[in-house]
């Protein structure tokens, strides 16, 4: 059976010996199926001479020509690849070498078998929404990017709380003194937002979660908004802060700067084996239903 994917690229985890070996194992597996994979240029450089047997490609070339990108690493590796390839909607498959792996759902041990199923057309596909975020200072945009997981406003290096003003669709919501605020997609609801007691949003839900970080008020709680909303957060005087985007990039901001967020037109396309199930994944990663150990 002919594979629906002919141009396949491999992207590996940064500075990981296990990741390098996994990339080569998958590259050899693909070659055994009559395919000639590309190894992302930076990944090939980290692997060294062993990668010389395979073709290499830049992220720009992968975005232009790849039918499929296999990301070998943790969720952070896949987040970085998604941000760089999202505009072209290159389908992504994640092989988990990290800890939890909410996005990278192929196991290291079964990666080649599961990838073989996907290459044979036995897979399910899922689109994940992204956030479009910009920082405005005095009417001028000073920073712009997209985020698959979350946008996090925090106090940076300060040892004190910051004050934020929240507006939704140009309607004032509240001022809050806190350590910051997480604005998360359904994908990001199982990341930092989950650790901050935010809600878990099913990927099929068109929502954005607002999760305050240690608010100085017991009545300020996480809120889920429709993803059609326009969110604006203003950093109030006198403190500066830092905004992180997917934990990959950041922007230092000062009092009066405005963070504006809305749903992006870009989406990330994830491919899973047919056996994949969202709730089965949550049970495994979050140990739902595990027996309580007694001493």
CATH code of the domain in which 152 resides: 2.60.200.30
Domain membership flag for residue 35: yes
| Measured distance CA(66)–CA(57) in Å, rounded | 10
Query: Do 144 and 240 fall into the same domain?
Result: yes
Strands across the sheet with 223-226, in order?
223-226, 207-213, 180-184, 150-154, 241-245, 249-253
224: exposed, middle or buried (C-beta count within 10 Å: 0-12, 13-18, 19+)?
middle
Query: Do 199 and 105 fall into the same domain?
Result: no
Query: Do 85 and 158 fall into the same domain?
Result: no
Query: Do 235 and 281 fall into the same domain?
Result: no
290: exposed, middle or buried (C-beta count within 10 Å: 0-12, 13-18, 19+)?
exposed
Domain membership flag for residue 291: no
Query: Do 259 and 136 fall into the same domain?
Result: yes
Specify the number of domains making up the chain. Answer: 2
Query: Do 154 and 241 fall into the same domain?
Result: yes
Query: Do 106 and 180 fall into the same domain?
Result: no
The pLDDT, as a whole number, for residue 291 is 63
Among residues 141, 87, 131, the alpha carbon closest in space to that of 251 is found at 141
Domain membership flag for residue 194: yes
The pLDDT, as a whole number, for residue 100 is 78
Domain membership flag for residue 197: yes
User: Catalytic: 75?
Assistant: yes
Query: Do 254 and 140 fall into the same domain?
Result: yes
Query: Do 209 and 278 fall into the same domain?
Result: no
Domain membership flag for residue 1: no
Instruction: Give the active site residue among 18, 67, 75, 246.
Output: 75
Q: What is the 3-state secondary structure (H, E, C) of 205-261?
A: CCEEEEEEECCCCCCCCCEEEECCCCEEEEECCCCCEEEEECCCEEEEECCCCEEEE
Decide: 255 and 239 in contact? Cβ < 8 Å: yes
Decide: 228 and 263 in contact? Cβ < 8 Å: yes
Query: Do 91 and 141 fall into the same domain?
Result: no
pLDDT one digit per residue (tens) for the chain, 295 residues? 556 899 999 999 876 677 889 999 999 999 999 999 999 999 999 999 988 999 999 999 999 999 999 999 999 999 999 999 978 889 999 999 877 789 998 999 999 999 999 999 999 999 999 999 999 999 999 999 999 999 999 997 777 899 999 999 999 999 999 999 999 999 999 999 999 999 999 999 999 999 999 999 989 999 999 999 999 999 999 989 999 999 999 999 999 999 999 999 999 999 999 989 999 999 988 989 876 555 5
Domain housing 138: 130-265
Whole-prediction pTM: 0.91
The pLDDT, as a whole number, for residue 293 is 54
111-119 helix and 17-32 helix, angle to the nearest 10 degrees: 40
């Amino acid at each position: 059976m002919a594979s629906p994917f002919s141009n396949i690229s491999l992207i590996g985890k940064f500075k990981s010996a296990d990741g390098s070996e996994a990339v080569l194992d998958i590259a050899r597996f693909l070659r055994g199926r009559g395919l000639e994979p590309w190894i992302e240029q930076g990944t090939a450089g980290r692997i060294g001479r062993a990668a010389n047997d395979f073709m290499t490609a830049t992220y720009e070339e992968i975005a232009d020509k790849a039918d499929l990108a296999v990301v070998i690493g943790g969720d952070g590796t896949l987040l970085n690849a998604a941000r760089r390839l999202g505009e072209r909607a290159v389908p992504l498959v994640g092989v988990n070498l990290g800890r939890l792996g909410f996005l990278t759902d192929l196991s290291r041990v079964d990666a080649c078998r599961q990838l073989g199923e996907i290459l044979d057309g036995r897979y399910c596909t899922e689109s994940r929404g992204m956030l479009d975020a910009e920082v405005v200072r005095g009417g001028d945009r000073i920073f712009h990017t997209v985020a698959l997981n979350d946008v996090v406003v925090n106090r940076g290096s300060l040892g004190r709380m910051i004050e934020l003003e929240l507006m939704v669709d140009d309607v004032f919501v509240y001022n809050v003194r806190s350590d910051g605020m997480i604005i998360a997609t359904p994908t990001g609801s199982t990341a930092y937002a989950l650790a901050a007691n935010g809600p878990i949003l099913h990927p099929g839900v068109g929502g954005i979660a607002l999760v305050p970080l240690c608010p100085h008020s017991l009545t300020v709680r996480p809120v889920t908004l429709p993803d059609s909303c326009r969110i604006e957060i203003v950093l109030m005087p006198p403190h500066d802060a830092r905004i992180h985007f997917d934990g990959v990039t950041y922007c230092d901001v000062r009092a009066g700067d405005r963070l504006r967020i809305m749903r992006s037109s870009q989406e990330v396309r994830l491919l899973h084996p047919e056996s994949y199930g969202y709730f089965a994944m949550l049970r495994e990663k979050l140990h739902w239903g595990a027996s309580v150990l007694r001493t």
